[in-house]
Structure 1
Amino acid sequence: MSQDLVLPRPGASYKPQPPVAGPTEAAFVETFGALLPAAQFLQTPRGKAAYYEITPSSSKDDTTKIDKVLFIHGVQTPALGMLPLARDLEKSFPAAHMVLIDLWGHGLSDTPVVPHEASLFHQLIDDLLDHLSWPSAHLVGFSFGGATTVSYVASRPSRVKSFTLVAPAGLLQLSMFTPDEQACLQGDDEDAAKKCVLDILEGGDLVVPADWKQRVAKGSAG
C-alpha cells in the first residue's frame, strides 16, 4: 500500500534520511512515451537529478547569441511539459544548446526529504550549470519555475544572461487566505493542510483526466 510522504516544513526540525528515488527511465517511457531525449543524470549531495539535452542542430553563428538555454518547469509538470516550447525554439535558434531539467520530486529526479524551499532549487541549478561547464545561461521558467527563476536571478545575477517567464507563479500574502485557511496552513494537521492546499490550487481533490495519455502525446502540460 502506498503511503503519503510529508516533507519537512521550512524551519522545522527533521531527522536526516535518504532521498526518495525517482522512477526508472524505462518506467517513465512506458507510461508517457519516448518523447524526450535520453535522460542524463547529475549526482548531488541531495540526490540524483535528471536532465535532457537538445544539442545544436546547426553550427551557424546566430547573431542573437542565444547559445545556452535552461528550461525550468513548474509544479506537476516535469521537463516533459517544457518540451513543446523547447522544440519550437529549436527551430528559431538551431545553434543553441538547450537543456531541460527535472526539478526535485518531478520526472526522473529524486525527492530529497528536506524542506523544499528556494535555496534547495537554486543549488540544483548551480550544480547543473557547473556540471555543464556553463558559467551562465538564458533561463526560461514556467509557473513555479518562473518564480524559481526570479529568485535565482535576484541571488545570482552573474549566472543569468537573460530570463523569460511563462505564466509565472506569484507569491501569495497570508492576508489573501481566509481565517480557516490560515489555521489549516499554519497548523500541525498535515492531512488538513493537504486538503486545504488542494482546495486552493485545484478547487478540490486531484482528478486525473481520462484522456491524459492523449494530452501528453499532444504536448499538453495540464
Structure 2
Amino acid sequence: MHEGPNIARVAALIGDPARSSILVALMRGQALTVSELAAEAGVGLPTASSHLSQLEAGGLVEPRKQGRHKYFTLASDDAAAVIEALTGFAGGLPKPKSRPGPRDPALRTARICYNHLAGERGVQLYDSLVARGHLVVAADGMTLSPEGWDFAAGFGITPGDFAGKRPPHCRECLDWSARRSHLGGRLGRAFLSALEGRGWARRVRGTRIIAFTSEGERAFASAFPAGPRA
C-alpha cells in the first residue's frame, strides 16, 4: 500500500459527532474545560475526557493548566485551518451553548486579576503587545523585546524597575471570561499601575471592576490597537 499522510486517521477523529462538536466549540478561540466541552458535545464527562484524549493524541487539541483548572485549546494553526475549512463547507459555526465567566458586562470588560488587568481590555493589551513583537518568549519566560522596552518606557516602565528580581518578569494568565491570555506577572502589574497613574482607569471600590474614563478608552485603544491576533 502506498505510504502517505494518514488522512483517514485524522478524518476519523474529526468525523465523530461528539469530537467534531468539541473541535467546533474550540474554534471560537476560547480555552474550555472538560465539563464545558461535554455540554457542547452533549455527552457525559467520562465520554468527553475519552474524546479529548484521542484528539490530543491525534495532535488536534492540547491541554492548558491555569492554577487548579485544566482547559483545552486547539493544538495549532494547522488544526484550526482544517476545522475552519470543514465548518465553512458545512455552514459555519453554531452558537455556543454556554458563556464562561461573569455575567456582569463591566467585569467582562475590565477587572483586577492578582493586581493586573484582566477581561477584554487585558486580552487586548496582551494581544497588541504580541502582535507588534513587543512581547516575546525568552529562555527564562516571557519578556519584552528591545522595541517592547522602548514602548514600555513611554509608560514609565524600565528594565531597572525589575533589577535584582527573579525572572520571569511576566507570564501568560488565562482569562476567566475571555478564556484567552492576558498579561500577568510584574509587568502586568506595572502596566495597570501606569494606566491608573495616567487617569485612564480606576478601581471601583468594593469590586474587582476596572472602570475606564471616556478619554481613557480612546487613549487605551490608540496605545494598544486591536487587530489580527490582537
Shorter-chain TM-score range: under 0.3
Q: Which has the larger radius of gyration?
A: 2
The two structures have a TM-score, normalised by structure 2, of 0.25
The two structures have a TM-score, normalised by structure 1, of 0.26
